[in-house]
Structure 1
């Protein structure tokens, strides 16, 4: 059993010494292995897919229409079921903002259901609007 205690560390350190590069000249097999690993890494790296400019434009136009609807609802004091219309328009606006974030390559906030209070939605909406504006989005 004593020989196992001596041989196992010797084998482990021997294998480790082959994988650690030396200070001197690099061997050819290490260079080839590094090149192959770099090619594999390039292949596996996630390349962000460019968003279709027409889809981006469509989302921007829909955002501007919904934003105009929200302003119109807020300005109309005698609208029947005003609170319901305003809440529905804001939920649609939040969904469009999440879609815009995905198109811009940003991480959209957590999906909020129709029953989430407006105070909680406001913070996430503001964050997404600021990030999209910083990337040059307008609506």
Structure 2
């Protein structure tokens, strides 16, 4: 009788840990569907006007990107991908290339006065969304930030 009670308590505790919101399983599941993921500066290269940012500038830009708050997703209808990859405005995007295993993910970051647009391209999919970040909106390269 006591073994049955102990076994029930142990199994119940394990189930409770797995089902609780801060569990590893729940965090992993949520991260799979996250649109604006945190980037590791070691895994990315950041370019502007075709030139790579230096290590310190890249780390600063990546930190600002990670601190940005997600605002809204822009829905892209099939056939309109080109509008999001090459907008008609004269804003030059920062290009973030991330290599994770055999996956290549490209981010185009467009800075505007009141928001920042991000276009995420992976595999054959294109996703666009806006983020709010004072740091990214006002980001400017130092005089020796490119090489």
Q: Common fold, TM-score beyond 0.5? A: no
Rg comparison, structure with higher value: 1
Q: Give the TM-score normalised by structure 1.
A: 0.27
> Greater strand percent: which structure?
2
Q: Which has the higher helix share?
A: 1
TM-score by length of 2: 0.26
